[in-house]
Chains A and B, each alone.
Chain A
Amino acid sequence: MLTRVALASLWNRRLAASLGVFTIAISVALLLAVERVRAQTRSSFASTISGTDLIVGARTAPVQLLLYSVFRIGDPTQSISYARFEEIAAHPQVAWTIPISLGDGHRGYRVLATNNDYFAHYKYGDRASLEFAIGRHFDQDFDAVLGAEIAQKLKYSVGDRIEIGHGAGRKDLALHADNPFTIIGILRPTGTPVDRTLHVPLAGLDAIHAHFPGTSGKSSQSATDEEHAHGALSAVFLGLKNRAAAFGIQRQINDYPAEPLLAILPGLALAQLWNIVGVGEAALLSIAVCVVVAGLLGMLTSLVTTLDQRRREMAILRSVGAKPRHIAALLMVESCLLASLGAALGWATVSFGLLLLAPTLASQFGLYVSPWQASAHEGWLLLGVLAGGAIAGLIPAALAYRRTLADGLSMRA
C-alpha cells in the first residue's frame, strides 16, 4: 500500500517527476556511453595483435615501435638491415617471422610490404588468423592484398590495377608510376588496422624503389628509396617455439652488438601505451560521473522543494497512524524509484543510440562498439547510480521525518 501510495503520489506529479527521470536518464546514458566505448576500445585495442611473441625494430621508444608496426601510426625513423633479419630468423628459438616494411601509401591508406608468412602467422583478437574474403595471397611480385575497409571505401575488386606512392597522404608525394600492382585478394574485416592496410610483397616494393633510384631531388626520399632498395625492413614480428624464452631473446636482441635494435613484448607495450591513453579515459569517466551526480542533485532539489507542498499529505498519513519512518520510507521509495527509472531509461537510450551509431563509429572512427555488450563494470556503475539515488533520498526522507515529528497533526501548509 505504501508503494502504491508512493506510485500514485508520483503519478500525480508526473510532469515534474518525468523531468527528473529524464535528467537522470541522460546523465546515465552519458556515463554508460563513455564506459562502453572505453571498455570496448580497450578490448579491441588489446586484441589488435595476438600470438606474436616479440616485435623487433630499430632502436626507438617501445611505444613508437608498437605504434608504427601494429597501429600504422607514425613512421619508422630507422630500419633494420635484411642481413640482421636473416640472422634473427636463424635463431634456434624462432618458430616463424613476419618481416614488414612501411613508408608508402595509397590514397591515404598505408602500404605494408611483407611476404606470405604474414597471412600464415599474423593473428589478432583471440588468436584469429587473417582470412581471405576473396582471392588469395601473393604469387607475383606485383600482387596486392587489400584490407576489408580499403576495398569497400575505394570500391576496389580483384583484378583492379593500382599504384603506390611515398607517404600516406591523400595526395601521394611521388607516385611510383608505371609499375601498377594488381589486386589479387581482399581480406575479411578484422576490426583492426589490418582493415586499413594495403599489403604488397617485399620483392615488389624493392623492385619499384630500384626502378626509380632518385624519384625527385628531395634527399630524404631518395634515402628512403635507397634503404628500400637494399631490402631494409621497418620491423619484424617473431613467433617463438617456446613463449617462455621471450624475455631471454628480447635481451639478446636489445644487446645486439652490430646494430642498435629494440625488441618488445606486444602485450607489455600495449599495456604501456594504454597507460598513456588511460589518463584521458579516466578523465572522461570522471566527468561522466560528475554529470550523474548533477542529475541526482537535480532530483534531490525537486524532491526537497515538493516537501513543503506535501505537508498536508504527510499530516493525513500521520493522522491514520503512519509512523515518521513510514513517511521517510515513502520519500526513499520515491527517490529510489526515480533513480531506477532514470537508470533503466539511460541504459535503453545508450543501447539504442549505439545500435544506430555503431556503423558510423566503425566506419568514421574505427571504433567497434557492440550495443549489447555490457561489461561487469557497467553493472557496478548502474548499481552506483541506484545507491546514489538512495543516498540522495535520505536527505528529503530525513527532512520529512523531522518535520512530521514537529508538525504533528496540524495541517499548516
Chain B
Amino acid sequence: MKFTVLQIQQLSFGWTPSDCLLNIDHLALNAGESLFLHGPSGSGKSSLLGLIGGVLLPDAGSIEILGTPLQSLSRGQRDLFRAEHIGFVFQQFNLLPYLDAIDNVLLALRFAPQRRARMAAAHARLQAQELLARLGLDDQTLRGRKAAELSVGQQQRVAAARALIGSPALVIADEPTSALDSDSRAAFLQVLFAECARSGSALLFVSHDRSLEARFDRVLDLRSLNQVQSTRVSTC
C-alpha cells in the first residue's frame, strides 16, 4: 500500500516578500519510501524542513501531509499535527540533557495523544526500551544515565528512537550523521532504515554528504528541485 505521505505543489517561500528562497513545483514522498535530499548550506534546507514541519507557512502553493493541507490548519493544529505524524532527528544535541534516554524518547508522545494511544499507554515505556534495544542501546547501557552522559553516537540513536516511536508517517532527518565518525555513521543509517521499514514510515533525509546516498530509494538535489537558485534575489 503506497499512499502519498508528503506532497508539495507550487510552493514558494521567502523570509521577506522581495527575497524568494524556495520555489518548488512538485515533490512527493510515498509511505515506506526513502528520499535523500542534498544541497549546500544556504540552499534553503532548513526552511523547507520548517515548512514541512508546519512551523513556517508558504507564501504560495500547498504542502499536504497524509492528504491534509497544512495551510488549512491553525498554528496550534499544525503543532499538534507535527507531534502526531512527524518524527525529527537533528544534526546533534537532539536530547534534553537532563532527562534520561527513555524520557527523551517518550517526549515524542507528550504532545501527541493519538500517537500515544496507538500504543497501549502502559506499554509506552516498554516499547521505548525495546526500540532503544533494537537501536543497540540496551537497558544496561542506559540505566540511570542522563542524556548528556551518553556518547554522540548513542545520543543520535536515542534521537532516532524518539523520532520513530509510535510509528509516525514521516521521519525527517536533518544531517543526523554529520557529528558521527564513519563507522557509527554506517551503523546509524542501518538501524534507521531498518526501523523506518518496520514502522512503514517515509524517510526524508537531508544531508550534504553524498557518500550516503546509495542506500536511498531516491536522490534529489535541492538546487535542481528549487527553481530559485542562481540569482538569490528574486521575487516569489
Q: Which residue of A lies closest to B51 (CB)?
A: A408
By a CB distance below 8 angstroms, the chain A residues around B75 are: 323
Contact with A along B79-114 (1 / 0, CB 8 A): 110111000101101111111000100011011100
Between A1, A316, A321, the greatest number of chain B beta carbons within 10 A of the residue's beta carbon is seen for: A321
Answer whether residue B55 sits at the interface, using C-beta atoms and an 8 A cutoff: yes
Q: Decide if A321 touches B50 in the complex (CB within 8 Å).
A: no
Q: How many A-B residue pairs lie within 8 Å, measured between CB atoms? A: 74
Answer whether residue B76 sits at the interface, using C-beta atoms and an 8 A cutoff: yes
Answer whether residue A362 sits at the interface, using C-beta atoms and an 8 A cutoff: no
Which of B46, B84, B88, B99 has a CB less than 8 Å from the CB of A319? B88
Answer whether residue A411 sits at the interface, using C-beta atoms and an 8 A cutoff: yes
Answer whether residue A256 sits at the interface, using C-beta atoms and an 8 A cutoff: no
| Given A1-B110, A320-B111, A411-B90, A8:B99 Cβ within 8 A | yes
Q: Decide if B112 touches A410 in the complex (CB within 8 Å).
A: no
Q: Decide if A408 touches B53 in the complex (CB within 8 Å).
A: yes
Tally of contact residues, B, Cβ under 8 A: 30
Answer whether residue B56 sits at the interface, using C-beta atoms and an 8 A cutoff: yes
Answer whether residue B49 sits at the interface, using C-beta atoms and an 8 A cutoff: yes
Answer whether residue A9 sits at the interface, using C-beta atoms and an 8 A cutoff: yes
Residues of chain B from 48 to 92 with CB closer than 8 A to chain A in the complex: 49-50, 53, 55-56, 75-76, 79-80, 82-84, 88, 90-91
Determine the distance from Cα of A5 to Cα of B53 in the docked complex, in whole angstroms. Answer: 23
Residues of chain A from 362 to 413 with CB closer than 8 A to chain B in the complex: 408-411, 413
| Given A319-B53, A408-B53, A411-B91, A12:B98 Cβ within 8 A | yes
B25 to chain A, nearest CB (A): 24
Q: Decide if B55 touches A316 in the complex (CB within 8 Å).
A: no
Q: Decide if B88 touches A8 in the complex (CB within 8 Å).
A: no
Known: A8-B98, A320-B112. 13 other contacts (CB 8 A): A1-B110, A9-B98, A316-B90, A316-B95, A319-B88, A319-B90, A320-B108, A322-B110, A322-B111, A323-B80, A409-B50, A409-B90, A411-B91
| Given A8-B98, A322-B79, A408-B56, A312:B93 Cβ within 8 A | yes
Q: Which residue of A lies closest to B115 (CB)?
A: A321
Determine the distance from Cα of A326 to Cα of B46 in the docked complex, in whole angstroms. Answer: 23
Closest 6 CB pairs of A and B: A321-B83, A321-B111, A12-B98, A408-B55, A319-B88, A408-B50
Determine the distance from Cα of A197 to Cα of B95 in the docked complex, in whole angstroms. Answer: 73
Q: Which residue of B lies closest to A14 (CB)?
A: B98
Which of A8, A312, A326, A413 has a CB less than 8 Å from the CB of B111? A326
Residues of chain A from 75 to 115 with CB closer than 8 A to chain B in the complex: none
Q: Decide if A5 touches B96 in the complex (CB within 8 Å).
A: yes
By a CB distance below 8 angstroms, the chain A residues around B157 are: none
B107 to chain A, nearest CB (A): 5
Q: Decide if B98 touches A409 in the complex (CB within 8 Å).
A: no
A405 to chain B, nearest CB (A): 8
Answer whether residue A121 sits at the interface, using C-beta atoms and an 8 A cutoff: no
Determine the distance from Cα of A61 to Cα of B99 in the docked complex, in whole angstroms. Answer: 71
11 contacts between A and B (CB under 8 A): A8-B96, A9-B96, A313-B96, A316-B90, A319-B82, A321-B79, A321-B80, A321-B84, A321-B110, A409-B90, A410-B46
Answer whether residue A137 sits at the interface, using C-beta atoms and an 8 A cutoff: no
Q: Decide if B94 touches A316 in the complex (CB within 8 Å).
A: yes
Contact with A along B109-149 (1 / 0, CB 8 A): 01110000000000000000000000000000000000000
B79 to chain A, nearest CB (A): 5
Q: Decide if B111 touches A409 in the complex (CB within 8 Å).
A: no
Determine the distance from Cα of A326 to Cα of B80 in the docked complex, in whole angstroms. Answer: 12
Determine the distance from Cα of A411 to Cα of B82 in the docked complex, in whole angstroms. Answer: 17
By a CB distance below 8 angstroms, the chain A residues around B103 are: 8
Q: Decide if B99 touches A323 in the complex (CB within 8 Å).
A: no
- B residues in contact (CB < 8 Å) with A: 46, 49-50, 53, 55-56, 75-76, 79-80, 82-84, 88, 90-91, 93-99, 103, 107-108, 110-112, 162
By a CB distance below 8 angstroms, the chain B residues around A318 are: 55, 79
Which of A2, A316, A326, A408 has a CB less than 8 Å from the CB of B96? A316
Q: Which residue of B lies closest to A413 (CB)?
A: B93
A180 to chain B, nearest CB (A): 78
Answer whether residue A247 sits at the interface, using C-beta atoms and an 8 A cutoff: no
Residues of chain A from 298 to 324 with CB closer than 8 A to chain B in the complex: 312-313, 315-323
Determine the distance from Cα of A315 to Cα of B80 in the docked complex, in whole angstroms. Answer: 15
Which of B50, B56, B83, B97 has a CB less than 8 Å from the CB of A320? B83
Determine the distance from Cα of A318 to Cα of B53 in the docked complex, in whole angstroms. Answer: 10
Determine the distance from Cα of A326 to Cα of B98 in the docked complex, in whole angstroms. Answer: 18
Determine the distance from Cα of A5 to Cα of B106 in the docked complex, in whole angstroms. Answer: 12
By a CB distance below 8 angstroms, the chain B residues around A315 are: 90
Determine the distance from Cα of A318 to Cα of B82 in the docked complex, in whole angstroms. Answer: 9
By a CB distance below 8 angstroms, the chain A residues around B49 are: 409
Determine the distance from Cα of A411 to Cα of B95 in the docked complex, in whole angstroms. Answer: 12
Which of A2, A8, A313, A323 has a CB less than 8 Å from the CB of B79? A323
| Given A320-B83, A320-B107, A320-B162, A409:B97 Cβ within 8 A | no
A307 to chain B, nearest CB (A): 16
Answer whether residue A212 sits at the interface, using C-beta atoms and an 8 A cutoff: no
Q: Which residue of A lies closest to B99 (CB)?
A: A8
B16 to chain A, nearest CB (A): 14
By a CB distance below 8 angstroms, the chain B residues around A411 are: 90-91, 93
